[in-house]
Amino acid sequence: MLEKQENINKENNFLKNKDIYDLTRFTHLDYPNELACIVWFSGCNMRCQYCYNDDIVFNKTGNYSYEDVLDFLKKRVGLLDGVVLSGGEATGKNLLEFCSKIKELGFLIKLDTNGINHQLIEELTTNKLLDYIALDYKAPKYKFTQITASNKYDDFEKTLLYLIDKEFNFEVRTTLHSDLLNEEDINFIINDLNSKKYKNDYFIQKFVNTETNIGNIHDEVNKFNEHLIKNDLINVVFR
């Protein structure tokens, strides 16, 4: 009886944690072919130069609790198909309990991630708590630390290889600022994905210049020539 009460108290404490910076209540763009909402988690374990979510990254606490989001989702059963977990970096939080509760409500779950928390991603996929992953391939290994302020490329690579081997439903994407990554860098990534037997689309998303970003960078000076990008190895999609 005492153990049961302790578990209830633990769950209640978890639900009240304000780890969520913001909630986008509707999107038809962020989860392929599904109507969804986006849960934006506070904090991140990287400091990518081009990141314009600096307000989210540098906030350790958020504005919404897990309970707030679950209450919202209960009112969207039958109206939304899925939930996108984004940030910041969602895998810095306790997603196992949260995803379990989302699944109990019948929603699909997509995770946007930099992939360096391999252990949690493996737990989530093994327990069938994720349906789709967007994995950020930030940069080739030789530029990874420069762009992300992190030396965790090997952890990212471990997740990439795991998802390929598992044949999980996921996409790889890279944010392109042509002063940071050039055609040679992108072709290096493409060759690497091909050598690892990645079969899905590779998305290159263009840098969005906003009022602020982590690296205090602005519009590109260097021109990027899309015609120099290899698209005969895997399907490359610019967006």
Collapsing DSSP to helix, strand or coil, 126 comes out as helix
Task: Please report the pLDDT score of residue 87 as a whole number.
Answer: 94
Cα 215 to Cα 89, 105, 138: the distances in Å are 17, 39, 14
Higher pLDDT, 139 or 209: 139
Q: Does position 11 have pLDDT exceeding 90, yes or no?
A: no
Q: Which of 195, 196, 194 is nearest to 234 (CA)?
A: 194
Q: Which CATH class is domain 17-238?
A: alpha beta
Of residues 209 and 133, more confidence is placed in: 133
Cβ atoms of 50 and 207 within 8 Å: the answer is: yes
CA pair distance 4, 196, nearest whole angstrom: 46
Residue 2's pLDDT is what?
Answer: 45
Residue 52's SS3 state is: coil
CA distances for 100 relative to 70, 106, 154, 228, angstroms: 11, 10, 28, 44
C-alpha dist (Å) from residue 13 to 10, 18, 66, 167:
5, 10, 10, 36
DSSP letter string, 192-239: HHHHTT--S-EEEEE----S--TT---S-SS---GGGS--SSS-EEE-
Nearest to 157 by CA among 211, 195, 207: 195
pLDDT score of 26 more than 60: yes
Q: What is the pLDDT of residues 57-108, one digit of tens each?
A: 998 888 999 999 999 999 999 999 999 999 999 998 889 999 999 999 999 9
Terminal Cα distance for the chain, rounded: 55
> Which tens digit of pLDDT belongs to each residue from 154-199?
999 999 999 999 999 999 999 999 999 999 999 999 999 999 999 9
Q: What pTM was computed for the model?
A: 0.94
Structure tokens at 110: 């997509």
CA dist 163 and 206 (Å) reads 25
Among 127, 204, 107, 137, CA closest to 168: 127
Q: How far apart are CA 101 and CA 201, in angstroms?
A: 30
- With a cut of 90, say whether residue 10 has pLDDT above it: no
pLDDT digits (tens, 9 = 90+) for 98-151: 999 999 999 999 999 999 999 999 999 999 999 999 999 999 999 999 999 999
**Angle between helix 118-126 and helix 153-166 axes, rounded to 10 deg:** 20
How many angstroms separate the Cα of 192 from the Cα of each of 6, 7, 15, 62, 94? 48, 45, 41, 37, 31
